[in-house]
Amino acid sequence: MDPILAIAKKHNLKVLEDACQSHGAMYKGRKVGSLGDIGTFSLNNFKNLCGGEGGLFTTDSEEYLDKGVLVRCFGDEVDEVSKRRVYNASILGYMYRNQELPAALTRGQLLHLDERNDVRIANANYLTEELSKIPGVIPPYCPPDCKHVYFMYNVRFDPKAAGVDADPRRFRIAVEKALYKEGMLVGQWQTMPVPAQDLFQSKLGYGGSSYPWVVNEAKGIHYNYDPNQFPVAQMLCDTYTVVHGIHAPNGRPLMDKILAAFHKVFGNLDEALAHADDAIYPGADGKLYGAA
């Protein structure tokens, strides 16, 4: 965030933080969501702070708060005296109003956020310490001046370090499937660099047209969504997986079972690779496809 904020200051830009998966995380002593001009958090059922659905909009600016309220509710103006809607949409807005019950659930969950983050951190730190001892497994890294709250615990695999001559993507798939067969919940969340998704490749927009891309293209602005421009993103997609189970109330007993599965699979990599094409379909939703 430091270089981003420096660039924004130099060019008088505003910074909107996507902190949707980072409730309670810290960057150099400051809570995420408070670093930029506006912060956003998701509250869906997967998140560290769960409200069922909806989200949070945070800012220290009254001006941005007022604009956020407009966007949240159809762009409708609010009377300054009565504080009631006047049903006069002054800007393009949407229906982003949260419901009372999810909001109440979120307030209740907020009371437990720190303690549950502590459980996630303890589980993640234990896994990282032990998994780093297995050649070919690359645990996540957290800089010493940051606090990671582990919405997901992601690991990467390196066949060369494991002493295996295999394509990195095929190696990851084989290891995922083998871990699945051992009863572990693993799988990918993002499967490709964002520009590689069909929407960006086709630029198929509203009503079968190329809108909104065509607006800027008419001004001479052209888009290049060649996925080959993003080799690091592609490398990550080829080599990472999500390890489920670090959230409360899970603790050391489950972490030890996860480690046992890793040791068994990495002790039998030839067998795992032999089953790389088995009809097992790992996914980050935590379901065991074809593993019975």
- pLDDT of 40 strictly over 90: yes
Which of these, 22, 246, 263, 266, lies nearest to 125 by C-alpha position? 246
Question: Please, which residues have CB within 8 angstroms of residue 100's CB and are 6 or more apart in sequence?
Answer: none
- Strands 38-42 and 16-18 come out as parallel
Q: Nearest 5 degrees, angle CA 147-CA 150-CA 155?
A: 115
pTM of the shown model: 0.89
For residue 284, the model assigns a pLDDT of: 67
Please tell me whether the peptide bond between 144 and the residue prior to it is cis, using omega within 30 degrees of 0: no
- Judge contact between 195 and 226, C-beta under 8 A: yes
CB count within 10 Å of CB 290 equals: 12
Structure tokens belonging to residue 185: 């919940």
Residue pLDDT, tens place only, 202-245: 999 988 899 999 999 999 999 999 999 999 999 999 999 999 99
How confident is the model at residue 39, as a pLDDT? 97
135 in Cβ contact with 217 (< 8 Å):
no
DSSP 136: T
**Annotated domain spans of the chain:** 2-110, 113-193+230-274, 194-229
Query: In sequence order, what are the residues at sequence separation of 6 or more whose Cβ sits closer than 8 angstroms to the Cβ of residue 123?
Result: 150, 153, 245, 246, 250, 251, 252, 255
Per the structure block, which two tokens stand in for 86?
């006047």
- Looking at this protein, which amino acid is placed at residue 274? A
Per-residue pLDDT at 141 exceeds 60: yes
* Mean of pLDDT over the chain: 93
Instruction: Convert the pLDDT of each residue in 174-202 to its tens digit.
Output: 999 999 999 999 999 889 999 999 999 99
Q: What is the spatial distance between Cα 187 and Cα 171, in angstroms, rounded to a whole number?
A: 13
In angstroms, rounded to a whole number, what is the distance separating the alpha carbons of residues 87 and 282? 48
Which CATH number among 3.50.50.60, 3.20.20.190, 3.90.1150.10, 1.10.8.80 corresponds to the domain 113-193+230-274? 3.90.1150.10
- Domain made up of 2-110: CATH architecture: 3-Layer(aba) Sandwich (3.40)
Residue 288 pLDDT exceeds 60: no
3-state secondary structure of 137: strand
pLDDT bucket at 41, cuts 50 / 70 / 90: very high
CB 131 within 8 A of CB 243: no
113-193+230-274 shares the fold of 2-110: no
Report the C-alpha gap between 69 and 101 in whole angstroms. Answer: 19
Q: Which tens digits make up the pLDDT trace of 235-282?
A: 999 999 999 999 999 999 999 999 999 999 999 999 999 999 999 887
For residue 192, with 0-12 CB atoms within 10 Å meaning exposed, 13-18 middle and 19 or more buried, which class applies? middle
- What are φ and ψ of residue 96, in 5° steps? -110, 20
Query: How confident is the model at residue 285, as a pLDDT?
Result: 67
Closest CA to 59 of 36, 93, 25: 36
Task: Give Cα 1 to chain centroid, integer Å.
Answer: 17
